[in-house]
Structure 1
């Protein structure tokens, strides 16, 4: 390193990038956080001489400023970073660097997940040569429409911000633009800075101001008085109001304010997947999950609600039961959200503001208003009835293999109140949404915006890195485990203590059940040998041993056959120190969780030779009649 005068420092683009990231801070409510807690990376020819060299130099020069973590799969490291950011309420995240080509495009799925869930993560994929000395280089896409196109352009539709740094002079504006989006709760998501491999290694004289500590204020927008007045008027007119709490309640750290508002007004609270934990499961006004994977308590109240107050939710199809959940003919919506596009959904009264600040003002404005005592009593009765349903599902006594609901019950029993449950795809998220007894606002971590198979183990890794003082239970089915289990090696390498509950049901159980509902008879969802006679995949069960696979990666493995053995294994896993533990248990995939009395819109073939499909179509058309446009 050399200096050119007192106001510049000569570094490569990659070295300047790494120093800049190490110096960034976020701040909310007067509390500062490191914006980047580290950088995941897998090196190849597209980043090893640039960002790889810069990370090594930083580790030697200022240990701990931007720690490097070795990943095994590029998609997995993005999932881990996204889970980390979610656990830290979007105030801290991680960066991810990959080589050009397949290393970069492996991150695209992770980018989509982060952007859909509105969680900040910084992606730094290597890119083609800027000066084209030897085109086409290894792994370069030759697009006849233009030589400035690379595979990294696939990040554009799934990134909240995208830029390519063709010249060193472009780096400052790209970095400042990236930080603006990463720290904006309304716009955040995956931020991609594509880094041509020759530019990464190019030296430049950088203003010292670029590399100085910089604080990014995470705002809490206040509600506009006129919008607030309209919201208060609508809420005060309600006889059977319902709050739908989304992830925005938890990210805004507004769970205490939600509780105060609910208790003051008597308005019950239902929760989305991201909002689960907004109230403890046993609070008198907690109805639990709402929608297609909801509780009967929440969905019965939802059908009768004349005013729905959505706080920090984007009203996904699962939340609204494909727009059949809110059935009152005159239902109106009040939507509190930092994102304008969510605040105006369902023709609602939009309050574009922070959840915590809005709840405080609403509580004050409605201080003399409350629902009728009979409504509170109805809510309590329905919630109690559902809790009894959950208890029965937890204790079915199903043999010879336990039901999935029993496995969930044992994990809930053995885990501590502040422990975190992690899941993402298959039948498990729906069962967890309706059955898991959440006791802490950060105790439930189910990725359901993208519902990405393979997120679970990588996500659990990120959760534990973000909250090392909490126990972490990853629940994953065999289908999702086969998609991506490599990050177990990183957990072994870093001695990260997560407990992976591997539920083996020999197939894609979730889609199997869905296949039944559309009249397709679980076609293509079992893990079976091809039958030499029928030529279909309906032979014997495949002899796959995923527990042995985990053991081969260096993971401590425990096996359980019965529900009592499973409970003992979980308790043993909790006592293990020094790395991950995997508990393997087989379950019966044909034992469903209790019904949510709800619906999800998945089209059924309009004509078919199969009687099962024809009957499914009749049911589908009957449910379609209940969909509402909310205009």
Structure 2
């Protein structure tokens, strides 16, 4: 039995209405502030789609071309807007097609409510047509899931779903609704949002004594270093984070999902962490004396070998999820809580400093990286175009104001490192799961979530072919997304590993592509192909100025490797420039 407490009480005069479970579902979405739903109809969810026919003025439904595209679009919407993304799918294959997106959203802390249709309750367990036990399938990749078998359960279940999805550390929730529950009539009064569940603690109790201990360590530090992640953005704590960094004078580096919480050009922003991050932040992680981690989880792509990671440092870890503290890296001082609350407490207690000599170390390493890698990547002398110079030209034209949505691979690392971000929620990528095919549908969702901002999808020639059918969603909706395909005719990241660690045994990484411009034109989307440097900037300008979606295919050098790189199994201080 669902339990829900501290909800708004009904006024005595509130009139009951008898309505179907399907209509109750849609009214619950409206009450939760949902304006856009991504989905694909099917037999087991037909009653909800039938009810949706009468709600088209209030709910914008985006018909995707595949359920995986639908959930990635919902992810893009949530990441760009800060709202809960919503997706509909039918039972069986429709529901199972959501699993990759659920896993992606779970590891990247993206708030989603996924509503799936299910066979009639009396058919459960009979292997009925398109019956799948989606609850057990999705339990490992959801924050919570629940199967509704009676219409009377729906309002409470949906209220709980939205509360769990958006509160604390956000994540995906799945509500599976049997067909009879969608069809049943039941009394429905005013919707009761959920704001408390007795067994659920979304935000841990802040302990001021730990904040004081953290401040003491920071005040004594000579070489402090801040690592921040997406938790700053999820906590809407960008202003509080900036105040902390500027008062402390501590150099700060970001995880791939943390990009944008502090503007790229801020003088204390020293770059990206991790396997393909910047040189200085990686090397100096193993030289700092106090490491302050804020809203990040010390995943393996950031730490490299854990037994050689920051062993000299005292670690302060601020996180809303207590399970992340001490999970991978032991914390000297744990600071539990929402960083929007804990950062101001910490800022008040720290001393204002500048750390000029320590900051100079980062500048020195950055100069080495520029000479060894960045100069050739952004301003090459060879005839072939590089991925880096495409991003550099894009920066000059967008001035850091665009939402950049990347797929997974070499282009992802290049875009995340070189793109300029002036605002939070500007870098949307599949971080923890690394899902190829993510970018195109996520960019569609991002544009629906933030129609006021330009959205640019940067995709490799491998990833685009995984969800290219979502060009049909662009065609039907008219949504404006700028698509850049960086085509090196390889599955580039795998090829790089095969070159560096497997003696150039290029096993099944050569990938042929269709004529993308012709494919785009078949979907009534303008497009262009460019391979000459002299045409690059004007082609990017044409793409950005075009009224509507535009696909730009850029032919880049085939066997360019992405450096710096921390080889797998190595320490972050063993990062390679070549």
What TM-score, normalized to structure 1? Answer: 0.83
SS of residue in 2 equivalent to 1:46: helix
> Residue in 1 aligned with 2:541?
571
Instruction: Tell me, in whole angstroms, the C-alpha distance in 2 between the residues paired with 1:350 and 1:376.
Output: 25
- 1:202 is displaced (CA, Å) by 1.5
> Residue in 2 aligned with 1:282?
265
Cα pair 1:407 1:563 within 8 Å, conserved: no
The C-alpha deviation readout for 1:543-587, integer Å capped at 9, x for no partner, is: 63233222222211111121231221110111111x310001111
> Residue in 2 aligned with 1:127?
118
> Residue in 1 aligned with 2:10?
none
Which deviates the most, 246-255 or 476-485? 246-255
Which deviates the most, 161-170 or 73-82? 161-170
**2:567 aligned to which of 584, 594, 599:** 599
Instruction: Tell me, in whole angstroms, the C-alpha distance in 1 between the residues paired with 2:509 and 2:392.
Output: 25
> Residue in 1 aligned with 2:464?
481
Within 5 Å, give how 1:366-405 maps onto structure 2. Answer: 366-367=350-351, 370=353, 372-383=355-366, 386=369, 389-399=373-383, 401-405=384-388
Distance 1:403 1:490, change over 3 A: same
Are 1:57 and 2:40 counterparts?
no
SS of residue in 2 equivalent to 1:344: coil
Within 5 Å, give how 1:32-111 maps onto structure 2. Answer: 34=33, 36-48=34-46, 50-59=47-56, 63-64=57-58, 66-89=59-82, 92-111=83-102
Are 1:411 and 2:394 counterparts?
yes
Distance 1:220 1:166, change over 3 A: closer
- 1:385 is displaced (CA, Å) by 5.1
Instruction: Tell me, in whole angstroms, the C-alpha distance in 2 between the residues paired with 1:448 and 1:325.
Output: 23
- 1:123 is displaced (CA, Å) by 0.8
Are 1:560 and 2:530 counterparts?
yes
SS of residue in 1 equivalent to 2:552: strand
Are 1:165 and 2:148 counterparts?
yes
Are 1:361 and 2:348 counterparts?
no
Distance 1:408 1:322, change over 3 A: farther
SS of residue in 2 equivalent to 1:192: strand
The C-alpha deviation readout for 1:222-257, integer Å capped at 9, x for no partner, is: 731112122122223322111001001122232233
> Residue in 2 aligned with 1:307?
290
- 1:131 is displaced (CA, Å) by 1.8
Distance 1:521 1:72, change over 3 A: same
> Residue in 2 aligned with 1:538?
none
Cα pair 1:240 1:371 within 8 Å, conserved: no
Within 5 Å, give how 1:232-271 maps onto structure 2. Answer: 232-271=215-254
Instruction: Tell me, in whole angstroms, the C-alpha distance in 2 between the residues paired with 1:286 and 1:384.
Output: 15
The C-alpha deviation readout for 1:490-530, integer Å capped at 9, x for no partner, is: 222222111100112222111111222331634334336xx
Distance 1:441 1:461, change over 3 A: same
Instruction: Tell me, in whole angstroms, the C-alpha distance in 2 between the residues paired with 1:203 and 1:592.
Output: 61
Cα pair 1:51 1:200 within 8 Å, conserved: yes
**1:19 aligned to which of 24, 27, 30:** 27
Instruction: Tell me, in whole angstroms, the C-alpha distance in 2 between the residues paired with 1:625 and 1:466.
Output: 37
Instruction: Tell me, in whole angstroms, the C-alpha distance in 1 between the residues paired with 2:424 and 2:381.
Output: 30
Instruction: Tell me, in whole angstroms, the C-alpha distance in 1 between the residues paired with 2:517 and 2:121.
Output: 46
- 1:135 is displaced (CA, Å) by 5.3
Are 1:350 and 2:341 counterparts?
no
| Structure 1 alignment gaps of length 5 or more | 25-33, 142-149, 529-541, 602-622
Which deviates the most, 468-477 or 340-349? 340-349
> Residue in 2 aligned with 1:335?
317
Distance 1:134 1:423, change over 3 A: closer
Distance 1:397 1:445, change over 3 A: farther
- 1:67 is displaced (CA, Å) by 2.0
Instruction: Tell me, in whole angstroms, the C-alpha distance in 1 between the residues paired with 2:397 and 2:442.
Output: 21
Instruction: Tell me, in whole angstroms, the C-alpha distance in 1 between the residues paired with 2:426 and 2:538.
Output: 22
- 1:484 is displaced (CA, Å) by 0.6
Which deviates the most, 193-202 or 456-465? 193-202
- 1:192 is displaced (CA, Å) by 0.5
> Residue in 2 aligned with 1:620?
none
Which structure carries more relative contact order (alpha carbon 8 Å, separation 6+)?
2
Which deviates the most, 413-422 or 221-230? 221-230
Distance 1:151 1:178, change over 3 A: closer
> Residue in 2 aligned with 1:589?
558
Instruction: Tell me, in whole angstroms, the C-alpha distance in 1 between the residues paired with 2:361 and 2:483.
Output: 39
What TM-score, normalized to structure 2? Answer: 0.90
Give the paired residue count.
556
Within 5 Å, give how 1:402-481 maps onto structure 2. Answer: 402-481=385-464
Instruction: Tell me, in whole angstroms, the C-alpha distance in 1 between the residues paired with 2:529 and 2:572.
Output: 48
Which deviates the most, 422-431 or 267-276? 422-431
